[in-house]
Amino acid sequence: MLIYHASKVIVEYPIIKKTKYTKDFSWGFYCTRNIEQARRWAVRGTGEGIINKYEYTENPELNILYFKDLTDDWLDFIAHCRLGGLHDYDIVEGPMANDTVWNYVNDYMQGIISREQFWALARFKYPTNQLSFHTLKALGSISYAGNEVACE
């Protein structure tokens, strides 16, 4: 199955690097199953957007966490990771806290809104898909399959 990584450069050899800020599922190499989502992300900011393509083969030996929908477990996991918490999963897949949903997550984490208020605000937002690779073993389940220039 093809998955996509949005960037400003060709990423033939993905890496996992620790950065200043953690993401939804902590540090990792992030992709999506949705090419339209990758296109939207690739054209943000300045410079030419690139959609890197990878063939992904699921490996049952990997420790994979999958969130099908927005749930309390998803919210708790995102809050944990965004606060710098780590986990032992090779791959995590699930909804992405887009900018609007992220603002609600942040308000929840800061105690500005309750869990019930978060769900009242977030239930009509449609998060996108993300698939994050957190170990070298996980990166072994994808292989570079080319790229295309992203156009709006």
Percent of the chain with pLDDT over 90: 62
Statement: residue 44 has pLDDT above 70 = yes
The alpha carbon of 62 is separated from its chain's Cα centroid by a whole number of angstroms, namely 18
35 is in which domain, residue-wise? Answer: 2-149
pLDDT higher for 11 or 115?
Answer: 11
Whole-number average pLDDT of the chain: 90
Q: How confident is the model at residue 125 (pLDDT cuts 50, 70, 90)?
A: low
pLDDT of residue 18: 83
For the stretch 51-67, pLDDT in tens is 999 999 999 999 999 99
Most confident segment among 10-19, 21-30, 50-59:
50-59
For the segment 78-108, what is each residue's pLDDT rounded down to a tens digit? Answer: 889 988 999 999 999 998 877 677 788 889 8
For the cut 70, the answer to whether the pLDDT of residue 126 exceeds it is no
Q: What is the 3-state secondary structure (H, E, C) of the chain?
A: CEEEEEECCCCCCCCCCCCCCCCCCCCCEEEECCHHHHHHHHCCCCCCCEEEEEEECCCCCCCEEECCCCCHHHHHHHHHHHCCCCCCCCEEEEECCCHHHHHHHHHHHCCCCCHHHHHHHHCCCCCCEEEEECCHHHHCCEEEEEEEECCC
Q: What average pLDDT does this structure show over 121-148? A: 89
Instruction: State the pLDDT at residue 65.
Output: 98
Structural domains in the chain (count): 1
Is the Cβ–Cβ distance between 91 and 142 less than 8 Å? no
Residue 49 pLDDT: 95
CA distance 94 to 47: 28
Query: What integer is the mean pLDDT of 17-43?
Result: 89
